[in-house]
Structure 1
Amino acid sequence: MTGCGQCGGATTIGREDGQAELAAFVRSAAGGALLLRGEAGAGRSALLRHAAALAAQEGRTVVRAAGVEVESALPWAGLHQLLHPLLADAARLDDGTRAVFEAVFGGPRDDPPSVMTLGIAVLRLLALATEQRPLLLVLDDGQWLDDASADVCGFVGRRLTGRPVQLLVAVRDGLPSRFDAAALPELPLAARPDGDAPTPAELRAARAARRAFAAEPGALTWQERRVADLAAGGLTNKQIGVRMHLSPRTVSSHLYRVFPKLGITSRAALRDALSRAAG
């Protein structure tokens, strides 16, 4: 019945069975990773929301992120989005581990760390983040994650057994991604039966759900967060563009998307909104 790697088999399952499998995964104290694979319209995002809500009810910290196609060529952009809510704990890490994060998220990248080095640093960060409560990391649209981030997520996911951390990744079947070779347990979802295509109302609901997911403060992309931080620090669009090698128009476009995600309407409100998001 199940394609969950923890249970054996590779048969695709439907929405109700998927909820049951995810409930068992979320409630497990063993830790681990699970790759949710399904075609467009198979309900991947809905199942992720179900799992996130259940994990929150179970008292777990939930961190959600989503792969973004336009950032798929930016090394570590996806990993930054996934780890950003946890990076405050990085100050408690040893100097060497902090230097690894600084090298990929803020410093020069002439000699980037290996997947293993960065993966070990991520595991250390997760250990600090779970001192008080278990953690569920939820990543939607994993097929759009940049290769560097996907490789690190795979490395980390293969080493979560026995830790109070679970990684749940959803990918669209038929689109290649680095997760195809990640050797993570999989839960394949059945496609809708022929003739059972999503209705217009369902499609609108799905789009609304994705907008709601993206509207959460934690869902700012790596570039959006960087632009927002610099704008909150008082830099103009031109100055931000020089700093990030972007045109002022591109900076303006990023801020145009940032404001509704943070629930604000002006540049002056950025600092407080970012502080609330970090808290």
Structure 2
Amino acid sequence: MSGKRVLLTGSRGFVGQHLVHDLIARGYRLRTAGRSTVSAIPDVEHAAIGDLGAPVDWQPMLDGVDLVVHSAGLAHADGAIPEERYRAVNTDATLALARAARAAGVPRFVFLSSIRAQSGPVGDHLLSEADAPSPTDAYGRSKLAAEQGLAELDLDWVALRPVLVYGPGVKANMAALLKLARLPVPLPLGALSAKRSLLAIENLAEAVAFALSEACPARRSYIVADPGPLSVAEMLAAMRAGLARGPGLIAVPPSLLALAAQLSGRSAAYERLAKGLAASPGALLSAGWRPPAETKAALARLAARPTGAG
């Protein structure tokens, strides 16, 4: 494994930045490709590819490459981006790179898909790959279409469907939850019991490394999640433990929280906070993936970092 050259796209994103350091630490020789004209890491080969929605000549970037990790793509945004744009960037560009990798003789292609290819933002049971994919938005449909396109190619591919990822530098929903946990006041969220799966960034990096290896069965999609989903109350308690504080949670009935959210125009934010989405990583675990981080301990470490450090 050590010494093989990996082409990594999306190296400047939250996930991509972590993958850069992890792959280098594992002994891979790295070549990155992205919109930036300069490498994110000194002494790492980098190619600027411009807009993924436009045609890209991938062949020069694949010269001498042994493996591909495709992390670049258009991130989820609520209703702000047309479906055609998602399709161009997340589906068509993925398949163009995969076809170019096949033509270049690259033996394995790892695609960073999303749990949204499997499901909408909430679920009423523990999801697994045995559930028929049912994405509910353009982002999820574009990721699923890319997976389906990969299945039609004569190529060893692995698609990873990560749930909500957390770690140093995280933004959006997890950053908001972390900000809540750091408030020096009790929080009225102790009765929120719906379970949601999370994924530590180091566990995702381990999944990518496993997917690159011959030990990982190819030509299939895997849900990637920390074993054991948590409720929001459990997440907050774990974060506050990292701050050397007690949970500080008050069990206000969810019906009252929902009413307060409605009156304040924050129903959508409350739904994301209160509803669950639990997904099983059983298939990937059975294949041989061994996640190094335990969720509560990883959340505590994240909260304990200095505020400006993520």
| TM-score, normalised by the number of residues in structure 2 | 0.28
Give the number of the structure with larger relative contact order, counting CA–CA contacts within 8 Å between residues 6 or more apart: 1
| TM-score, normalised by the number of residues in structure 1 | 0.30
If you compute each CA radius of gyration, which structure gives the higher value, 1 or 2? 2
